[in-house]
Amino acid sequence: MFSNRNWFVVFLCIFFSSSAIAADSALSQAAGDSVWIVVAGALVFFMQAGFALLESGMSRTKNSINVIMKNFVDASVGSIVFWLIGFGIMFGINQSGWFGTSHFALDHAEQGDYTFLFFQAMFAATAVTIASGAMAERTRFSAYIFGAVIICAVIYPVYGSWVWGSYVEGTGWLSEKGFIDFAGSSVVHSIGGWIALAGVIVLGPRLGRFNEDGSPRDIPGHNLTSVALGGFILWLGWFGFNAGSTVAADESIGLIALNTHLASAAGAVGALFTMMLLRKKLLMTLTVNGALAGLVSITAGCASMTPMYAVITGLIGGAVMIFSTLMLEKMKIDDVVGAIPVHGFAGVWGTLAAGVFYQEQMFNVDIIIVQLIGIAAAFLWAFPVALVMYFLIHKTVGLRIEAIGEQRGLDYSEHYEIGYPEFHNENLHKEIS
Amino acid sequence: MVDSSKGSDYKRRAVYTALSEFISGDDLLKAMCLWQEEYADAPRHANNQFVAQVLNGTLLASKHAVIHLKLTTILLEKDPILKPDPLTDMHDYLVRKKGRDHADKVLDHAINSVVATTTQDGTHKNVKAFELLVNEFINNVAQTDKEHFAGLNVAMSNAAKTLNRDNDKLLSLIEWFEGLSLSIPNRIDTDTLRSVLNAGYVEACNKVGPVVADTALSDAVKKVELDVSIKPFSPRDLL
């Protein structure tokens, strides 16, 4: 039992601590912001685990280690390259509106800058890893890493500076036009999707992916359970991705998180509904991709839509993903995990939806035109540059593995490491000594 | 672009040439046997580990970077001047140190093997394993897809025609594919056989899909592995 004296001490503690909070409210807000951004950044980092599980699960056993390696090295190399070069181009002083010119290899800065850099490095790692799944099962590892470096140093940050490049001084040209992309439907996802499209075009499809009549042939992944787990992890991480983009611990994060969740759920439902309408099999992989398409779709407008429109955005995002998957298959473009439909096409829809359903000025033609300009700019920048980049890599280092490597599997031929040694006899390579 | 499809004989000569600048005699042959046994089919990045293993505990350990650089450079060079294939010396070394059985086991499937053992009917074991594997692979594909399996023979025969190798040897391979002979009489290096089999795998992927092709080849390997007449050669060396 507390004595009267103890109660008095407790009262004094509460009184003085609340006085201190009142006096230092500005400091507390900054600290709170910092805590929230770092936690959100950690959630975005956790998305890498989601990508790794989803992409490796959709690959065959003989290529699973290679996919994981690409994800892991994306996060590692991507973060360092972004710190060295990308952050400066994306968020440095941006007088021209086209790219930043300061804050390279940030080493002496305000505390808030470090927090912001940490959060943005996670975004860059996400953008660069999108292509890995699409290009899985036939890409030479070293060539892929070359590409990842250029993406993180140039392709991603240049477009990012057009949209978000007003962090220090100056502003990006798209930002000045009023382009809305709150957390990166275009900046992160469409850019990643178009890079992936360029990559798979240069690579060509996997051996036997299409029949002689051009119809697609299924090459099932080896672990659909991990695909589902990866999908859930991405869904979780997206709360940090979108709600963290406030870059402040304020009241708006509740709406953003709710919109994110509803759009993801609606994306899965939209994909299911579309598969039913098209009388297709109700595939789990496409349902997971539907949820991801819903997440990508809401990323641009999650802070400027009401929940009702978030649901509509997600539903349509799921449908867009299904239709674009079928379209790519008809075009004989082999995207192993569906990264281009999920990130590229759903990103386009999401960016458009952010303008169409903009809370205070719904269906405003001027806003929609700006959104369309931003969407076109993303494609016209990322796709041709990535196409040239991958073409040059293909001609120098060699982007695609030889047929014998594809037969043996990239785990063996690229890493000399086996993902599933207990199933060794099932694999098509000689024994590792 | 680096041609990583260079044969094992070329790689062995390149490794031998690079190492001979730093080590000699039995040490060099011991290193070459290690390479043949553990690194001949390993990816390029494994060379670093190979050099470390060779130099471990020797006075040359501090020269690891120089030797590794030399090895990498010579492997990447377009037309380097290479020393002759040391395979005979390697075999003699292994016979001296570990006995003929061990030497045969390690070097049996080496490219252009000068010590290749033969089966009872006189066929070389790698060639015999190839014959069995191809037959089994085609049979497995035929069970799934009766329409396309015949194309595999043609694809492998065509692949053999495009290889820049010894014509007489390839001719015997082509004749076997075209049904003009019951077995392949000549000794053919494992690299050539591997390339030809891979052409069949690619064709199978295109015709019946990679899932069927993988299963057919995997099942074929498992069955051929049980055949005692090809031992100690493993059909996995043809993959």
Residues 6+ apart with CB under 8 A from B99: none
**∠ at Cα A294 (A293, A298), nearest 5°?**
115
Residue numbers in B near A206 (CB within 8 A): 210
- For chain A, give the mean pLDDT: 91
Q: ipTM of the predicted structure? A: 0.80
Q: What pLDDT score was predicted for residue B116?
A: 46
Which residues numbered 5-24 in B keep a CB inside 8 Å of some CB on A? 5
Put simply, whether A415 touches B (Cβ < 8 Å) is yes
pLDDT digits (tens, 9 = 90+) for A148-176: 999 999 999 999 999 998 888 888 999 99
Cβ-Cβ contacts under 8 Å between A and B: the total is: 76
- For chain B, give the mean pLDDT: 81
Residue numbers in B near A420 (CB within 8 A): none
Peptide bond preceding B43: is omega within 30 degrees of 0, i.e. cis? no
Spatial separation of the C-alpha atoms in residues A129 and A77, rounded to whole Å: 11
Which residue in the block uniquely carries the two structure tokens 């994800």?
A71
Q: What pLDDT score was predicted for residue B91?
A: 86
Spatial separation of the C-alpha atoms in residues A222 and A427, rounded to whole Å: 13
Residue A365, token pair as written in the block: 């033609």
Q: Is 80 exceeded by the pLDDT of residue B45?
A: no
Spatial separation of the C-alpha atoms in residues B23 and B109, rounded to whole Å: 26
Considering only alpha carbons, which residue of chain B is nearest residue A220?
B211
Nearest to B51 by CA among B76, B91, B21, B81: B21
Summarize the confidence of residues B98-102 as an average pLDDT: 82
Model confidence, pTM: 0.84
DSSP one-letter string for A155-192? IHHHHHHHHH--SSSB--HHHHHT---SS-IIIIIIHH
**∠ at Cα A79 (A74, A84), nearest 5°?**
130
**In this prediction, what percent of chain B has a pLDDT beyond 90?**
11
Peptide bond preceding B232: is omega within 30 degrees of 0, i.e. cis? yes
- Sign, CA torsion A315/A321/A324/A325: negative
Q: How confident is the model at residue B233 (pLDDT cuts 50, 70, 90)?
A: confident
H/E run at residue B195? helix B190-208
Summarize the confidence of residues A227-231 as an average pLDDT: 97
Put simply, whether A14 touches B (Cβ < 8 Å) is no
Summarize the confidence of residues A248-257 as an average pLDDT: 93
Residue numbers in B near A396 (CB within 8 A): 1
Residue A223, token pair as written in the block: 């672990």
**In this prediction, what percent of chain B has a pLDDT beyond 70?**
88
Is B202 in Cβ contact with A428 (below 8 Å)? no
Q: Is 50 exceeded by the pLDDT of residue B149?
A: yes
Pair A199, A70: CB distance under 8 Å? no
Which residue in the block uniquely carries the two structure tokens 């199978």?
B204
Put simply, whether B46 touches A (Cβ < 8 Å) is yes
Put simply, whether A402 touches B (Cβ < 8 Å) is yes
Of B198, B217, B222, the CB nearest to A404: B198
**3-state secondary structure at position B157:** helix
Considering only alpha carbons, which residue of chain A is nearest residue B46?
A416
Nearest to A75 by CA among A126, A118, A119: A126
Q: What pLDDT score was predicted for residue A427?
A: 59
Beta strands in A99-143 (DSSP E): none
Q: What pLDDT score was predicted for residue B115?
A: 38
Spatial separation of the C-alpha atoms in residues A127 and A156, rounded to whole Å: 7
Q: How many whole angstroms from its chain centre is CA B149?
A: 25
Q: How confident is the model at residue B156 (pLDDT cuts 50, 70, 90)?
A: confident
Q: How confident is the model at residue B88 (pLDDT cuts 50, 70, 90)?
A: confident
Spatial separation of the C-alpha atoms in residues A286 and A58, rounded to whole Å: 11
pLDDT digits (tens, 9 = 90+) for A60-84: 999 999 999 999 999 999 999 999 9
H/E run at residue B91? helix B87-98
Put simply, whether B25 touches A (Cβ < 8 Å) is no
Residue A364, token pair as written in the block: 């405003």
Q: What pLDDT score was predicted for residue B122?
A: 60
pLDDT digits (tens, 9 = 90+) for A176-225: 999 999 999 999 999 999 999 999 999 999 999 998 888 999 999 999 99
Spatial separation of the C-alpha atoms in residues B237 and B239, rounded to whole Å: 5
Summarize the confidence of residues A15-35 as an average pLDDT: 68
Q: How confident is the model at residue B112 (pLDDT cuts 50, 70, 90)?
A: very low
Lowest mean pLDDT among A368-382, B89-103, B119-133: B119-133
Q: What pLDDT score was predicted for residue B83?
A: 86
Put simply, whether A213 touches B (Cβ < 8 Å) is no
Spatial separation of the C-alpha atoms in residues A411 and B238, rounded to whole Å: 18
Residues 6+ apart with CB under 8 A from B206: A207, A208, A212
Residue B51 gets the label, from left (phi > 0), alpha (psi -120 to 50) or beta, of: alpha
Nearest to A128 by CA among A155, A152, A146: A152
Summarize the confidence of residues B47-73 as an average pLDDT: 88
Is B194 in Cβ contact with A430 (below 8 Å)? no
Residue numbers in A near B218 (CB within 8 A): 425-428
Put simply, whether B221 touches A (Cβ < 8 Å) is yes
Spatial separation of the C-alpha atoms in residues A271 and A325, rounded to whole Å: 11
Shortest distance between the Cα of A137 and any Cα of chain B, in A, equals 12
Is A397 in Cβ contact with B201 (below 8 Å)? no
Residue numbers in B near A407 (CB within 8 A): 198, 201-202, 217, 239
Q: Is 80 exceeded by the pLDDT of residue B2?
A: no
Shortest distance between the Cα of A324 and any Cα of chain B, in A, equals 23
Which residue in the block uniquely carries the two structure tokens 């891979």?
B198
Put simply, whether A212 touches B (Cβ < 8 Å) is yes
Shortest distance between the Cα of A318 and any Cα of chain B, in A, equals 29
Q: How confident is the model at residue A423 (pLDDT cuts 50, 70, 90)?
A: low
Q: What pLDDT score was predicted for residue B125?
A: 83
Put simply, whether B237 touches A (Cβ < 8 Å) is yes
**In this prediction, what percent of chain A has a pLDDT beyond 90?**
76
Pair A182, A374: CB distance under 8 Å? no
Q: What pLDDT score was predicted for residue A421?
A: 75
Q: Is 90 exceeded by the pLDDT of residue A381?
A: yes
Of A396, A415, A433, the CB nearest to B38: A433
Question: How far, CA to CA in Å, does A217 sit from each of A128, A332, A379, B212?
Answer: 28, 10, 29, 11
- What is the dihedral angle through the alpha carbons of A326, A332, A333, A336, rounded to the nearest 10 degrees? 70
Q: Is 70 exceeded by the pLDDT of residue A34?
A: yes
